[in-house]
Structure 1
Amino acid sequence: MGIEYDGSAFSGWQRLTRPGEEDRRGEATVQQAVEQALSFVAGRRTDVVCAGRTDAGVHGACQVIHFDGPAARDPRGWTLGTTSRLPASVCALWCVPVGDDFHARFSARARRYRYRILNRNVRPALGRGMLTWERRRLDVAAMHRAAQALVGEHDFSAFRTVHCQAPHARRDLQAISVTRQDDVVEVQVQANAFLHHMVRNIVGSLLLVGRGEQPEDWVGQVLAGRDRTRAGPTAPPDGLVFLGPLYPAECGLPANVTLQSPAP
């Protein structure tokens, strides 16, 4: 199932309690909301596994989950029934049957994020939960050039939080771009997987380059140093959207979460 959500009012994706336990007051999560809705449609408790967790305040354009449900529900019934039980900030986009060997997390070959920055003198009034604001003019070309030092398989220790629980920091960052459309600067990044706060820490460092506070080659130096204290600050969650994972075509998922074959 594909899930879209505005993460502003949630304490992240990950459920904060074990299955069947009472929710912690004031700590609503997207997973809790989805599991409660699915359980209602299924007529029994239904737990889900996601492609990638998101932090508090981070949004999801197409989070992918898998779950085991009774065959009596068709995909349209799952989609519409689940959405009818979800808060307005969350919806189910689609639902398709998959093989027993499919796993939302381990079957994914890549994951994609987008970070948007409103770069103008005046703070935003519209869409402020979907944008980070930067009043100083950013040198987008310098940010893009600096970011290319991150492409490839590296140890990204300099860009993960001290609370990251991943057993190692090596990740394959497949592509990263920094572009501008009028007053909006957009960072898009794709990797096989991400560390806790990795995208936000990368953006925080690129902002220092964009403001002229650090030279372009500084980002590569920070990466090589593997020292989190040398990198830039963690950028706010506002503006970060998990665009979704990518799976092999044989998984039979919609095109927006399927790896495209290279042109002949």
Structure 2
Amino acid sequence: MNRVVLGLRYSGHAFEGWQTQAHGNTVQDALLKALQAICGERPVIHCAGRTDTGVHARQQVVHFDTEAERPISAWVKGVNNHLPSSVVVAGAKLLGEPFHARYAAVSRVYRYYFYASPVRDPFKTHMTWVHYPLDLVRMQQAAKLLIGTHDFSSFRAAQCQAKSPVKTLHRVSLVECGDHCYVEIHGNAFLHHMVRNIMGALFEIGMQRQPVEWMQAVLSAKDRSQGAKTASAAGLTLWEVEYPPEFGIADLFNSTSFDFNA
């Protein structure tokens, strides 16, 4: 049995999330169809983190077990030939059973892109549009209050299945990029809708509807009803998944990690 590990990139616009559904319009469904064409079976796929409808991934990692013997190029070029243009396998490798796409991950990084403007920009469809002015300094101050190990129940969706609401955020930073911004959140793990609920609170503070200290009050309440509206999925990207270096997962997203001519 071979354990195949794939590095994926995808735009979430065309999909109703990662997790397979009866209607078949998910990233996992598209990948399953492509893999079946290459290995003649529908393997059980495990991913680093399930993304919601409309959420993108710059670095999504998946693994599956198969008895099929194929060259690495087949798991990249071959699978890509059967995928829609909005999904791509960036790289592949074979790893032993100790590796698990979800449980071997030590941290994850999400980026949430947004811009504030009186009118919507049709060239920023991968970002969230806020049509009110935003005080970025206040947002930066509030973001810092979330760093550390906390009970994030106030930022947890009702349907979240995580065993514990306690997570650790290593970094929460707001970066300005000319006509748009992004918030980058680096943590050991995330709850369902956690990033989008954090962004909803940051937007309330940025629009000066709430004081900076309100973020601490929401966090301490451990009650989702005390938080803000969930922000749109449009600006959210699973940016990076970190693993112990011995697995060499970063190589999956290096285009020179396999022979294109094989």
- Between the aligned partners of 1:227 and 1:135, the Cα distance in structure 2 is 28
- Residue 255 of structure 1 and its aligned partner are, at CA, apart by 5.1
- Between the aligned partners of 1:125 and 1:252, the Cα distance in structure 2 is 38
Q: For structure 1, which segment, 247-256 or 191-200, has the greater mean C-alpha deviation from structure 2 after superposition?
A: 247-256
- Residue 220 of structure 1 and its aligned partner are, at CA, apart by 1.1
Matches within 5 A, 1:1-264: 1-16=6-21, 24-25=22-23, 27-70=24-67, 72-128=69-125, 130-254=126-250
Question: Aligned to 1:14, what secondary structure does the other structure show?
Answer: coil
Aligned residues: 249
- Between the aligned partners of 1:110 and 1:175, the Cα distance in structure 2 is 11
Q: Structure 2: which amino acid aligns with 1:103?
A: H
- Between the aligned partners of 1:256 and 1:218, the Cα distance in structure 2 is 41
- Between the aligned partners of 1:178 and 1:255, the Cα distance in structure 2 is 28
In structure 2, the CA distance between the partners of 1:146 and 1:255, relative to structure 1 (3 Å rule), is farther
Question: Aligned to 1:32, what secondary structure does the other structure show?
Answer: helix
Question: Aligned to 2:140, what secondary structure does the other structure show?
Answer: helix
**Unpaired runs of at least 5, structure 2:** 1-5, 254-262
In structure 2, the CA distance between the partners of 1:227 and 1:111, relative to structure 1 (3 Å rule), is same
- Between the aligned partners of 2:110 and 2:251, the Cα distance in structure 1 is 17
Q: Structure 2: which amino acid aligns with 1:132?
A: T
Q: For structure 1, which segment, 56-65 or 135-144, has the greater mean C-alpha deviation from structure 2 after superposition?
A: 135-144
- Between the aligned partners of 1:149 and 1:119, the Cα distance in structure 2 is 23
In structure 2, the CA distance between the partners of 1:157 and 1:256, relative to structure 1 (3 Å rule), is farther
Question: Aligned to 1:220, what secondary structure does the other structure show?
Answer: helix
In structure 2, the CA distance between the partners of 1:255 and 1:140, relative to structure 1 (3 Å rule), is farther
State the Cα deviation string for residues 28-47 of structure 1 (Å, max 9, x = none).
11011111111211122222
Q: Structure 2: which amino acid aligns with 1:245?
A: V
**RMSD after superposition:** 1.6
Question: Aligned to 2:249, what secondary structure does the other structure show?
Answer: coil
Residue equivalent to 1:260: none
Q: Structure 2: which amino acid aligns with 1:232?
A: A
8 Å contact kept, 2:91–2:252: no
- Residue 256 of structure 1 and its aligned partner are, at CA, apart by 7.9
State the Cα deviation string for residues 130-151 of structure 1 (Å, max 9, x = none).
0110121211121111111111
- Between the aligned partners of 1:244 and 1:75, the Cα distance in structure 2 is 22
State the Cα deviation string for residues 51-94 of structure 1 (Å, max 9, x = none).
00001111111110011134621222211111110011111010
Bigger strand fraction: 2
